[in-house]
């Protein structure tokens, strides 16, 4: 049971992020929610690769005993983090542009496109 704790946290964080995206009105908060969503997925990947009592999967830093922790999910997580960084920078820039055009970052008022 306790071994599954990371996955419950992942589920909670994911739902939290998803809920925040749908309920929040502030664009910055929505950007934060997207980041939380990404972090929860990254945590899921890292938790997948963990082995109880595992060693560091680096050649000259490994300790004694136990299996090696899976390095592939960590590589995947790093890639996902890089992508998330690019997206976050882009989202924040878009929010800045939206603020310049509309003078607000309330989602309800940023609605020129409809119908």
Is residue 112 left, alpha or beta, with left meaning phi > 0 and alpha meaning psi from -120 to 50? alpha
Q: Which of 4, 93, 104, 106 binds another protein (CB under 8 A)?
A: 93
Q: Which of 61, 68, 104, 108 binds another protein (CB under 8 A)?
A: 61
Distance CA 33, CA 15 (A): 10
**Site for another protein contains 96 (CB under 8 A):** yes
- Closest contact distance (angstroms) between CB of 64 and another protein is 18
Q: Which CB sits closer to another protein, 9 or 95? A: 95
- CB contact at 8 A, 13 and 39: yes
Return phi, psi of residue 68, to 5°. -75, 140
Nearest to 4 by CA among 55, 41, 52: 52
CA distance 7 to 43: 8
Q: Give me the least distance between CB of 54 and another protein, in Å please.
A: 15
Among 9, 20, 32, 76, the residue binding another protein under the rule CB under 8 A is: 76
Residue ranges in contact with another protein by CB under 8 A:
14, 18, 21, 27, 30, 34, 37-38, 40-41, 44-45, 48, 58-61, 72-73, 76, 78-80, 82-83, 86-87, 89-102, 110-113, 115
């Amino acid at each position: 049971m306790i071994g599954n704790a990371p996955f419950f946290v992942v589920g909670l964080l994911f739902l939290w992020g998803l809920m925040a995206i749908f309920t929040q009105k502030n664009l910055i908060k929505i950007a934060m929610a997207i980041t939380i969503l990404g972090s929860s997925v990254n945590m899921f990947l890292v938790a997948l690769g963990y082995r109880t009592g595992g060693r560091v999967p680096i050649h000259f830093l490994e300790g004694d005993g136990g299996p090696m922790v899976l390095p592939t999910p960590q590589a995947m997580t790093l890639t996902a983090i890089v992508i998330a960084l690019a997206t976050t920078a882009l989202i924040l820039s878009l929010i800045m542009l939206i603020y310049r055009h509309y003078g607000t970052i309330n989602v309800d008022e940023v609605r020129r496109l409809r119908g």
